[in-house]
Amino acid sequence: MLDLFKDALSNLVNGDLSKGVVGQFIKAIPEAARKELGESSEAEQILRQLIDGFAEYHKHFEDRHGQLKVIGRSKPISLESVYVAAKCLDLEQVDSFKSLEEQEAVFRLQSHRQKFNEAPKGPQDVLALANQEKYLMLLGAPGAGKSIFMRKIGLEALEGSGSGYEHDCFPVLLDLRKTAASVPKIVQQIANEFKHFDIPYSEEGTAGLLEKGQLLILFDGLDEISDQDRDGIVGTIRDFVDRYGQNRFVITCRTAAYKDYFSKFTNTAIADFDGSQIQQFIQLWFEENAQIANELWKLLESGEHEGTRALCTSPLLLTMICLEYRRSLQLPNNRAVLFERALRLFLEEWDASKLIRRAEVYKGLDTRSKEILLGDIALSSLEADRPFFHRTALAKQITDLMKDLRPEEKNVDSNAMIEAIAKQHGLLVERSTDVYSFSQLTLQEYLAAKAAVDKRAFPDLVEQHLANSRWREVFLLSAGLLNPADQLLLLIEQEAQKLMQTTALRDLLLWCDRIPCGSSGRFMTAYGRASALALALDVNRKPALERTRTLAHKLSRALSLDLASDRALALDLTLALDLERTRAKAVDRTLSRALSTERARTLDLSRTLARVRTYAFSQFFSEDLCASLMKFTQLPKENSMDRFEEMRTSILEVLDMPLQALSSEDYGTLADFLAAQQLLVDCRNAAVRVSHQVWESILERMLVVAPSLLSI
């Protein structure tokens, strides 16, 4: 019998089934049963039945929980092939436990777009926390990866103590939607998991395992239980944990639906993906083609797809982006397409893919009507610069909106609708008692853009918010929703011109229009004017101009790639300027480390001359001006600060640039004006359609003083 038992355990190991887990189960078989096993002539048959049953359970668990059905794919994929280790936040970092003031400050910072590779402070691996905590409550947004983690920890536990899970516990994954509100019935449900695989003594063994604390109970989806049934299930789980507290437990729930039900449990929440997790997920997703993975990662890492990368917060949304990229091998300039897809995931497909049927409180509203409702809330919140709103005001707004959307419905339960938006769809989050915000700023911006398009609200919105960087994404998404986007672009152009009210600013634009003209006049374009301004700002190294200088170079580069009349020459010039920018960055790093003012001045002038040299050799200006600039392509032999300043002044005189007359207020206004010009270019690129005639007319007027302002 002993030899047979050793052989059996050897077979278990060879079959990748944890002998530790099976051994724990065998130990838990009642004493009388173990004696019977040792004395009976049927011992060999029973033991083999036990081994076969556990092997079948292991295989079934892998088949059932080791495969993922992915929205957008016809066939399931292996969990291991795309699993990225989930990270969680400390209790103090979970939004629902922060002070309201802290939460609002964090939410507002989202509009400045957290650095892509910046991870949340102090995140911990969820599996490591599950090893540490006997009772773990795992919270998270829809699609954050809660259920995926439950499958992963179950698979790890089956592998035994040599795996990522350090405890010899037998995992049982229970869908709370199918769990009865009774402790004996939960015990029976666990026993049934074993009975399906013909494991002998399953009921007695289950009782033994529970009594000895040798199970890992995974309760998945507390939020997926209806509101009327949840209290009963919560009470049952409390009783079950009290009765069998020697086991280990993990429970999952959407953050919005959790009310601190279990005092014994440590609360944590799955963190948004950071840069390293996003990169790993993409590499796993495109494992068969590393080049495609690298291309997508570089696109997301660049500054050209800020709105898209803001969606890369969870496995669900990142899966959507990977699917989109796989279809066309590019990310759409029109980000509205991705945001529409993401919104539909939350409103329709995610619950449907999990066969969840929640209470219907929308009184017959279709998805489009829900979008209108949410869009109105999103737009009014942004207009009021009020990211957080009270339930009372929100309920009144919903009641008023429902009168328009469903006038026949007389008894609207607006509070129930708030609960549905928060708990079912995860689009609203209760930050504090009766205080809500949108769960993601990016989706709020998209909904606000849809509402603005529906209401044709752009004349007022552009006038009031053009200079507010928080509204930039709303305007870009609006351009992607409009067909054509002509009116929006013309309104932005018109409002931007109103900024150029001072004589000094108008003189600067007149100079930009005059200076970049060779004999052929072929650079009398928006690109030429932007590049002339960029050069002028490079020469004038006043610290107050730093933001303006950066914006001018960004606009010049954007126009060069798409708008110049001589495209080949423009691209050559842009490449040359990019090379000089790279060198200039190196100079800047050296500047910051320079020990002496004289050394810093030398390096600063060296950077400026690199710019001048590029333009002088490009034949960008007239021959006379290029010849004059050529005098300044070498550093002076006499390395004195006076000589450097004299040289800089001479360059300014040759350029005959009126920057000296600008006040500090003018610097800020010029930066806002350039940001508006950049927004024009970006909106044009994001739009589905802009009429050729309208865009050409905008280019002709870009960085040109409007005739109506010349007489002021």
195-233 pLDDT per residue, tens = 766 665 456 667 777 888 989 999 998 988 877 888 899
Q: What percent of the chain has pLDDT over 70?
A: 67
Tens of pLDDT, residues 23-33:
555 554 555 45
Which of 330-344, 347-361, 471-485 has the least mean pLDDT? Answer: 347-361
| Res 36: pLDDT | 53
Q: 507 — alpha (psi -120 to 50), left (phi > 0) or beta?
A: alpha
Instruction: Output the pLDDT for position 540.
Output: 64
Q: What is the DSSP string of 557-594?
A: HHHHHHT-SSHHHHHHHHHHHHHHHHHHHHHHHHHHH-
The C-alpha atoms of residue 412 and residue 399 are separated, in whole angstroms, by 7
* For residues 125-144, average pLDDT: 90
Buried (b) or exposed (e) across 155-193, using 16+ Cβ within 10 A?
bbbbbbeeebbbebbbbbbbebbebebebeebbebbbeb
Residue 168, pLDDT > 60, answer: yes
The pLDDT mean for the chain works out to: 75
The whole-angstrom separation of Cα 22 and Cα 612 is 76
Domain 124-270 indexed as CATH 3.40.50.300: yes
Question: What 3-state DSSP class applies to 664?
Answer: helix
680 burial via Cβ count (<10 Å: 0-12, 13-18, 19+): buried
| Three-class DSSP category at 688 | coil
Quick one: pLDDT at residue 695? 92
pLDDT tens figures, 384-423:
888 888 999 999 998 998 888 888 777 778 888 888 787 7
Rg (CA), the chain: 32
Domain ranges (residues) in the chain: 124-270
Report the 10 Å Cβ neighbour count for 311. 23
The reported pLDDT for the residue numbered 56 is 80
In sequence order, the β-bridge partners of residue 140 are: 254
In the block, tokens 């003031």 appear at 101
- Could you say which DSSP state residue 215 is in? E
pLDDT band at 42 (very low <50, low <70, confident <90, very high): low
pLDDT of residue 507: 86
Q: Are strands 428-432 and 389-390 parallel, antiparallel or unpaired?
A: unpaired
Distance, CA of 643 to chain centre? 51
**Distance set, CA 61 to CA 18, 55, 356, 383 (Å):** 13, 10, 22, 51
Q: 292 is written with which tokens?
A: 């495609």
Measure the CA–CA gap between 144 and 609, rounded to whole angstroms: 51
**What does residue 266 show for φ and ψ, rounded to 5 degrees?**
-85, 125
Closest CA to 71 of 240, 426, 319: 319
Q: Which residues are 646's β-sheet partners? A: none
CA distance 461 to 448: 11
Q: Which residues contact 286 (CB under 8 A, 6 or more apart)?
A: 292, 293, 296, 322, 326
The residues, ordered by sequence, that sit 6+ positions from 316 with a Cβ below 8 Å of its Cβ are 71, 142, 143, 144, 145, 345, 350
Q: Full-prediction pTM beyond 0.85?
A: no
Q: Determine the length of the chain.
A: 712
Q: Of all helices (H) and strands (E), which one includes residue 174?
A: strand 170-175
